[in-house]
């Protein structure tokens, strides 16, 4: 295991489960002090426990990314506790209750947009403000291959927000690379998380459905996505700016 993030402080939103948890653990294994954020103290504390049980350093901050004051406090608390913020993975997001667009409740639309897009805007706003004033940093945003192809009927709100994440990433990457804030995105395909299962679907049924649709013939793992995030955030990707890295087993190839 390398030590690419030794001496760095990494913030992971949506760090209580799935890809966020796997990525937080991966950052810690490579030397980072990790702050995990989300709305559930129990799930965040479980992530912290998993990291510290392996000898890593981590802490949790309960925060709702849709609230400006809570995101501002999240970044401020991270800096106060650990002395800085060098890396951020903006992973918090929801898929929303599936429905064709004309049948989609406005409340569902508003909630998905608030979490996946406004939440990202707020995270970027406060992360960038700190990083540009302290020598720079690296940020990775969570997009999705659904934002690129849109071939999931019933997920219009999710697809629209994830397409927006990819475009916003390119825009802000150009705005701040001159101040040494390097911003990219990752777009996973179907990954072994609760979000990849349709309502009422078992893991076995999910795996069979995805195997038929993905050229690689299987669902992705959270560790595979985490590895992509760490590469984008690492010095090895120093020349990658505004890139959206697709990790989906060839589904959009």
Helix 18-29 × helix 41-53 angle, to 10° = 30
Q: Rounded distance, CA 243 to CA 250, Å?
A: 17
Q: What are the phi and psi torsion angles at 133 (to 5°)?
A: -85, -5
Catalytic residue annotation: 158
Q: Which of 25, 191, 215, 12 is nearest to 95 (CA)?
A: 191
Mapping DSSP onto H, E and C, the string for the chain reads CCCCCCCCEEEEECCCCHHHHHHHHHHHHCCCEEEEEECCHHHHHHHHHHHHHCCCEEEEEECCCCCHHHHHHHHHHHHHHHCCCCEEEECCCCCCCCCCHHHCCHHHHHHHHHHHHHHHHHHHHHHHHHHHHCCCEEEEEECCHHHHHCCCCCCHHHHHHHHHHHHHHHHHHHHHHHHCEEEEEEEECCECCHHHCCCCCCHHHHHHHHHHHCCCCCCECHHHHHHHHHHHHCHHHCCCCCCEEEECCCCCC
């Amino acid at each position: 295991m390398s030590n690419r993030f030794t001496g760095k402080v990494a913030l992971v939103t949506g760090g209580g489960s799935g890809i966020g948890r796997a990525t937080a653990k991966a950052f810690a294994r490579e030397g980072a002090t990790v702050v995990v954020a989300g709305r559930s103290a129990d799930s965040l504390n479980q992530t912290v426990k998993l990291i510290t049980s392996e000898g890593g350093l981590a802490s949790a901050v309960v925060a709702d990314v849709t609230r400006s004051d809570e995101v501002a406090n999240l970044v401020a608390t991270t800096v106060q506790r650990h002395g800085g913020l060098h890396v951020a993975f903006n992973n918090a997001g929801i898929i929303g209750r599936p429905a064709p667009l004309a049948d989609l409740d406005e409340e569902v639309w508003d909630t998905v947009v608030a979490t996946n897009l406004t939440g990202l805007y707020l995270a970027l706003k406060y992360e960038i403000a700190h990083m540009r004033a302290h020598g720079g940093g690296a940020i990775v945003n969570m997009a999705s291959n659904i934002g690129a192809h849109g071939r999931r009927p019933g997920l219009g709100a999710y697809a629209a927000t994830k397409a927006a994440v990819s475009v916003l990433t390119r825009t802000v990457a150009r705005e701040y690379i001159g101040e040494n804030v390097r911003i990219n995105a990752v777009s996973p395909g179907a990954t072994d998380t609760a979000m990849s299962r349709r309502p009422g679907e078992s893991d076995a049924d999910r795996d069979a459905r995805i195997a038929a649709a993905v050229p690689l013939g299987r669902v992705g793992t959270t560790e595979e996505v985490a590895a992509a995030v760490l590469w984008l955030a690492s010095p090895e990707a120093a020349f990658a700016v505004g890139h959206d890295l697709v990790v989906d087993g060839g589904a959009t190839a």
